[in-house]
A and B are shown apart, each in its own frame.
Chain A
Amino acid sequence: MTDDMDIVLTINGRRHALRTEARRILADVIREDCGLTGTHLGCEHGICGACTVILDGEPVRSCLMFAVQADGREIRTVEGLAANGSLHPLQTAFMEHHGLQCGFCTPGFLMLAASILERDPEIGDDDLLDALSSNLCRCTGYANIVKAVRAAAASMRGR
């Protein structure tokens, strides 16, 4: 049974008008219909956080939403983090501090951290760790991710 709907997703400032079955997961539509494969699927049941995107300013797990629910909403993905040809401080910090190894969890962490730091640039360290406990990484053991996010936070506050 198909239940195709016409929806519009605005992703990284660009409008994507598309038609999809209601059951298609937001992550799949972002990746396949909009060609933005930077958002990854690690578990498809909302625990690993690799699929994290920013929806209307808040971090959400794009595996736990149907694309049709995001009709008319603004989405930001990792492809939209860099602005005007400059990397986001988080991207730079992750590279400087070796905050990634295989890179599969990285977009999820970047979007999580970006949304957290944008909401609360003065976030305390304990709250920051709480927030980062949202996502799983299997390669790094987290220490360098934390270092990278702290460094980016400091740099973003300094601006």
Chain B
Amino acid sequence: MKPASFAYHVPKSLDEALTVLAEVAPQDGRILAGGQSLVPAMAFRLARPAHLVDINRVRELGRLAVEGDELVIGALVRHAAFHKSAAPGPLGSLLSTVVRHIAHYPIRTRGTFCGSLAHADPASEWCVVAAALDAALIARSTRGMRRIAAADYFKGVMATALESDEILVEARLPLLPSDTRVGFYEFNRRAGDFAMAMAVVAYRVEKGVIAAPHVGIGGVESRPRRVVEAERALAGQTPGRAAFDKAAEALAAAIDPIEDAQTDAVYRRELARAVTRRALEHAAA
């Protein structure tokens, strides 16, 4: 399982990277960041890029910082950076909860947050986080810069709004108000596996009832997204079993489940319901 040949480019600056990518993208040129998804794909020869643009030496892409009311995550920020709280408040604790579910530690030392988003495996944890929290994805090319809302970014299985000559240079997550309750639940067969279903939820409680609910589901459809039917079932309700069950039911009914060898549509819906309810319970606890 050795990769096919490629031309290897190591730009030292973002401008250089963008220029090279613009040249090689038409001949299947790809970005190499963490490589934890791309390299195995190349080992199987499912991916055979003629060019690899290795951005690991582009220091300016390593930024992880709070800017205003957003957490800015640069393209080279590794999963491992989130083991400690990377942002104040509930956002930081949500990210450090979720990161423990991403593969295993040696993958996290190399794999990147933005790399996961660029790869867009529907069962990727950061993708459902980005979708649930309405992240903004910053794409750059020699043609300029775009700010893409998460809802517009995920197009399907391994498909995003990124053009072939664009680099996802940053992901921006909104900081969450300090009284936001956050929850995450994932179901998989083994520790570290991709999720068969996972949910990211966030809500506040105002005057005893749920306000501004976010319910993001991942691993069950071709792309992760907020499920408005579930959010509607929560808004204005007292947080608790009854509301959570209704929201989970609403979500299960609303999704268009993906099937594979180990999970049919009926079972996928059951999992979607289960992880939604459990994520909500996690938030409430």
**Bound CA–CA A156/B23 (angstroms):** 52
Q: Are A133 and B2 in contact (CB under 8 A)?
A: no
Surface stretch bound by A, among B37-45, B59-67, B257-265: B37-45
Mark interface residues in A31-73 (1 if CB within 8 Å of B CB, else 0): 0000000000000111001001001001111011110110000
| Count of interface residues, chain B, beta-carbon cutoff 8 Å | 29
Surface stretch bound by A, among B105-113, B242-250, B277-285: B105-113
Determine the main DSSP class of B at the interface with A: loop
Residue A114, interface by CB 8 Å: no
**Bound CA–CA A3/B52 (angstroms):** 12
**Bound CA–CA A28/B44 (angstroms):** 16
The minimal Cβ–Cβ distance linking A108 to chain B, given in whole angstroms, is 9
Residue of A1, A49, A69 near B54 (CB, 8 A) is A69
**Bound CA–CA A52/B106 (angstroms):** 8
Residue of A23, A45, A59 near B5 (CB, 8 A) is A23
Question: For window 1-41 of chain A, which residues contact chain B by CB distance below 8 Å?
Answer: 1-3, 5, 21-25, 28
Q: Are B39 and A64 in contact (CB under 8 A)?
A: yes
Question: For window 78-98 of chain B, which residues contact chain A by CB distance below 8 Å?
Answer: 80
Q: Are A68 and B43 in contact (CB under 8 A)?
A: no
Residue A134, interface by CB 8 Å: yes
Binding site for A on B (CB under 8 A): 1-8, 10, 32, 35-36, 39-40, 43-44, 52, 54, 56, 80, 100, 104-107, 109-110, 191-192
List the 3 closest A-B pairs by CB distance, nearest first.
A134-B104, A22-B8, A45-B40
